[in-house]
Amino acid sequence: MRILMFLLVGLLALPAQAGLKIFATVPEWGALAKEIGGDKADVFVATNGLQDPHHIQARPSLIARTRDADLVVATGAELEIGWLPLVQRESGNPRIQPGQSGYFEAARQVRMLEMPSRLDRADGDVHAAGNPHIQTDPRNFLLVGAALAARMAELAPADATTYAANWKSFAERWRAALTRWERQATPLRGLSIAVQHKAFPYLQDWLGLQEVATLEPKPGVEPSVAHLGKLLAQVAANPPKLVMRAAYQSPQAAEWFGREAQVPVVVVPFTVGGSDRARDLFGLFDDTVERLLAVPR
Amino acid sequence: MNRIPLSVLAACGVLASLPATAAGDDLKALRDEIAQMKQTYEQRIAALESRLVQTEAKAGNAEVSARQASVAASQKPTSESAFNPAISLILAGTYTRLSQDPNAYAIGGFVPTGGEVGPPRRSFGLGESELGIAANISPALRGQLTLALPPEGGAEVEEAFVQTLGFGQGTTIKAGRFLSGIGYMNGQHAHVWDFADAPLAYKAVLGGQLRNDGVQVKWIAPTDLLVELGAEAASGGAFPSTDRNKNGATLGALFAHVGGDTGPSGSWRAGLSVLGTSPREREYDGTDSTGTDVTNAFSGRSRTWIADAVWKQDFAHDRNLTVQGEYFRRRETGDLTYDTGGVSLGTATDSFRSSQSGFYAQTVYQFMPHWRAGYRYDRLDSGNANIGGALSPADFPLLAAYKPKRNTVMVDYSPDEFSRWRLQLARDQSRPDATDNQLWLQYVVSLGAHGAHAY
């Protein structure tokens, strides 16, 4: 019965699904575009919350979906460099090429952290424009969302009022949620943590977490047991209170380190779809904050 | 939200200060008064709330503009070199142990292609270095040059083309020298292959890879399923065509690819391609029945069909599986000329007809982050060439019917995205008379610009 209802609603909703065709590279921007677009946007998300955003293939369906997209929403800062440029070129779609208004980069809207002072792959897989994982700081969504709402309004003037109203409503709820999360997370301020990959500088910046160790010797380079052992000795005097990894990452290194250092491993969803509770943007940070708070301090 | 509690509170305060004797008209007057007070409070609260919203919005804007200012300020100053194209360099090298002489390599039953299809020299060897330069030319065009630098010196233009960027309606046009879009692996550069060398079918049918000097038009259908149709016209030159010195195209290719997703973490693509050309005096060197080195030549029509399919599945935590295979079928009809130079039994020409096929199937599994293992099976069927009566089949020992096969296994390790170390073992029965046991150690690294890889 329920399925039937869904089908019916889906069928009825089909003709109304006009508006912008949006192609989002990662779930967080897909979720944000859905909040702003409402039923006036058709949002396709290229990846799911459990995929490593650094290793995405330019698979056939992505080329097919960009062919007709009005707007591609990407993180930028070289996060999608391994596949998106190719998909854009293959799409035969002039609207979404770099430099056109149909191509939007979230990282251009926020203050970037960890901008390398030198560019050398001896430092691992560094990104020239700074650390691209900007979605771990919820404050960034206000900046990205405002710019995205404006861009969407520019591309579909007929739906501009809807986008503006949806954005206003989202931003209000988001500000209220921000206050709530910040209040809840007060006890986390100054907490020393270890991270598997340098994926959380924005989260650390927001909550005032103190990163004392990174398990990966260089960004994108898998830690060896020898390296982890050395790291363990280094932090022995002042061990971190927890070791954090993103849901998409392989668990071995963090678990080994957690076991040896006798600290809990916290798996944070990292993006929408990274955990059962992170079904939308609010759930993403509800879950992240709660998982961090659940660790005994 | 706090509108009602406040006004109720105010009303309570008024009520509490009431003398107990109040009744009748007094009560009505009092009620009016309370109602008035309530209204006044509500208006004032509403005004305050709207001011609060405005202030918040202004503060938000200020926050946004302040951040944007800091973003703008952090941009690097432009310089003359800011428009330099992206440069990438591939370096590769091998160490091989081969039980047979690589210089005597041939694929039994198949016309030698003249391409570099044999295994590399024994012992340490430098692979082809590959220099890539690419940039946008204008909002509508992009250019790319790939130079192959063989270890023996010189440079070879592997690809040099201009490509439209978003021509519109899903169309892309390429012109220049480019890897043909036929099949699956043909469009991939050798350094991204999953094995150290090409499948036998590519070696025997296309002489390695098909490169065209010409034009390619590709169109993508407006569907959620990828439907890609392409056509190519080229001047030919390399195997299976020859330089014809005529106006118009001497080689044409058509291809269609269909692809999509299987669930949230799987994807596939399948395709059908056809390649047609009419080579003239396509020569190859061989020995004849007397053991003399002679040059033979073919003129006629050559048509190749390729069916390809690939399926890729991702599993949690960087594990993934790729299964792919391609089937080739080639039909050649025309005239074969024996001993064009007349150095042995005398030049002779008669009809020639052959129908040959081959396939490979391979699977590669990334069983833990950075480590992959793979297996490939190659099989070709030369069929029986139909040679006219004026020629003796004994004078074409290379074309004697044979079914070459090869089994290959490999393990590779990629500590990061820019380097790969590979161990490959193969039992190669390309030659009717000998089995070649091969061991390869190979490295492939990439420097410079981080290129995007095709599916």
Which among A59, A100, A101, A215 is the top mutation candidate for probing chain B, defined by the most B β-carbons within 10 Å of its own β-carbon? A59
From B202's Cα to the closest Cα of chain A, the distance in A is: 23
pLDDT the model gives residue B245: 85
Nearest CA in chain B to A82: B452
The answer, as to whether pTM is greater than 0.90, is no
For residue B55, the distance in angstroms to the closest alpha carbon of chain A comes to 13
Among B271, B164, B166, which Cα is nearest to B227's?
Answer: B271
> Is the same domain home to B4 and B110?
no
Residues of B in contact with A83 (CB under 8 A): 452-453
The CA distance from B90 to the nearest CA of chain A, in Å, is 15
Report whether pLDDT(B52) > 60. yes
Nearest CA in chain B to A147: B64
What's the rounded mean pLDDT across residues B233-244?
89
> Distance between CA atoms of B300 and B353, rounded to whole angstroms?
9
- Given a cut of 80, is residue B47 above it in pLDDT? no
> Does pLDDT of A109 surpass 60?
yes
**Out of B68-72, B86-90, B119-123, B434-438, least confident range:** B68-72
Q: Is residue B355 part of a domain?
A: yes
A175 CB neighbours in chain B (<8 A) are 56, 60
Find the CB nearest A58 among B139, B225, B453: B453
* A92 pLDDT higher than 90: yes
Among candidates B225, B228, B455 on the partner chain, residue whose Cβ is nearest the Cβ of A58: B455
Q: Answer whether residue B55 is part of any domain.
A: no
In angstroms, rounded to a whole number, what is the distance separating the alpha carbons of residues B346 and B339?
6
Examine the pLDDT at B293 and tell me if it is beyond 80. Answer: yes
Q: Closest Cα of chain A to B370: distance in Å? A: 8
Tell me the per-residue pLDDT of B171-229, one tens digit each, with 9 for 90 and over. Answer: 999 999 999 999 999 999 999 999 999 999 999 999 999 999 999 999 999 999 999 99
Enclosing H/E stretch for B406: strand B405-416
Q: What's the mean pLDDT in A269-273?
A: 96
Share of chain B above pLDDT 90, in %: 66
| DSSP E strands, chain A | 20-24, 41-45, 71-74, 103-105, 192-195, 210-214, 242-246, 265-268
| Domains, chain A | 2-108+126-179 (3.40.50.1980), 187-293 (3.40.50.1980)
Q: Under an 8 A CB cutoff, do B224 and A64 touch?
A: yes
What residues of chain A lie within 8 A of the CB of B170, using their CB? 67-68, 91-93
Q: Which of A82, A100, A112 sits opposite B453 (nearest CB)?
A: A82
| For residue A138, pLDDT beyond 60 | yes
Q: Which residues of B touch A125 (CB under 8 A)?
A: 416-417
CB-CB under 8 Å, B167 with A92: yes
Average model confidence (pLDDT) for chain A?
A: 90
Q: Are residues B1 and B111 in the same domain?
A: no
Yes or no: say if A248 and A274 are a contact pair by the CB < 8 Å rule: yes
Same-domain check for residues B250 and B362:
yes
B63 to chain A: which residues are within 8 Å by CB? 142-143
Banded model confidence at residue B306, pLDDT cuts 50, 70, 90: very high
- Does A190 score more than 70 pLDDT? yes
Residue B241 lies in a domain: yes
Q: What is the number of structural domains in chain B?
A: 2
- Decide: helix, strand or coil at residue A253: helix
The answer to whether residue B141 is domain-embedded is no
- Which of B416, B418, B419, B446 to mutate against chain A (most A CBs within 10 Å)? B416
Using DSSP's 3-state secondary structure scheme, residue B65 falls into helix
- The confidence score (pLDDT) of residue B166 equals 84
DSSP percent split of chain A into helix, strand, coil, nearest 5: 50, 10, 40
Angle between helices A27-37 and A160-184 (to 10 degrees): 130
Residues B247 and B356 in one domain: yes
- Look at B312 and A111 and tell me if their CB atoms are within 8 Å: no
Structure tokens at A9: 């609603």
Burial of A16: CB neighbours in 10 Å, binned 0-12, 13-18, 19+:
exposed
Q: Does residue B372 contact residue B400 with C-beta atoms inside 8 Å?
A: no
Name the pLDDT band for A279 (thresholds 50, 70, 90).
very high
Residue B197, pLDDT score: 95
- Out of A274-283, B3-12, B373-382, least confident range: B3-12
pLDDT at residue A15 greater than cutoff 60: no
Parent domain of B6: 1-16+31-44
Is residue B265's pLDDT more than 50? yes
Mutate to test the interface with B, among A44, A121, A178, A252 (most CBs of B within 10 A): A121
User: Does A58 sit within 8 Å of B64, measured CB to CB?
Assistant: no
Which band of pLDDT confidence, cut at 50, 70 and 90, is reported for residue B11? very low
Query: Chain A residue with minimal CA distance to B71?
Result: A111
Residue B164 resides in a domain: no
pLDDT at position A18? 64
Whether residue A264 contacts residue A8, with contact meaning beta carbons closer than 8 Å, is answered with: no
Question: Residue B154: inside a domain, yes or no?
Answer: no
Q: Give the model's pLDDT for residue A124.
A: 79
pLDDT of residue B236: 82
Q: Residue B216 and residue B254: Cα distance in Å, rounded? A: 10
Are residue B2 and residue B101 in the same domain, yes or no? no
Whether residue B158 lies inside any domain: the answer is no
Q: Is residue B157 part of a domain?
A: no
Residues B11 and B104 in one domain: no
d(CA B151, CA B124): 12
Contact A57 B260 (CB under 8 A): no
Q: Which residues contact A50 (CB under 8 A, 6 or more apart)?
A: A247, A248, A273, A274, B316
Q: What is the pLDDT of residues B418-431, one digit of tens each?
A: 999 999 999 999 99
CATH number for position B179: 2.40.160
Q: Say whether A97 and B70 touch across the interface (CB within 8 A).
A: no
Q: Do A58 and B452 touch (CB under 8 A)?
A: yes
Could you give the percent of chain B with pLDDT greater than 70?
88
Which of B202, B108, B115, B113 is closest to B396 using CA atoms?
Answer: B108
User: Hey, are the CB atoms on B317 and A249 less than 8 Å from each other?
Assistant: yes
Nearest to A96 by CA among A65, A54, A131: A65
Q: Least CB-CB distance to A92: which of B68, B136, B166?
A: B166
Q: Are residues B280 and B217 in the same domain?
A: yes
Buried b (16+ CB within 10 A) or exposed e, B364-385: bbbeebebbebebbbbbbbbeb
**pLDDT band at residue B141 using 50, 70 and 90 as cut-offs:** very high
Q: Give the pLDDT confidence of A209-241 residue by residue, as tens digits.
A: 999 999 998 887 778 889 999 999 998 888 899
Record: contact A59-B259, CB cut-off 8 A: yes
Give the pLDDT confidence of B61-113 residue by residue, as tens digits.
555 555 554 554 455 556 777 788 999 999 999 999 999 999 989 999 999 99
Residue pLDDT, tens place only, B320-368: 999 999 999 999 999 999 999 989 998 999 999 999 999 999 999 999 8
B423 and B360 within one domain: yes
- Please state the ipTM of this predicted complex: 0.86
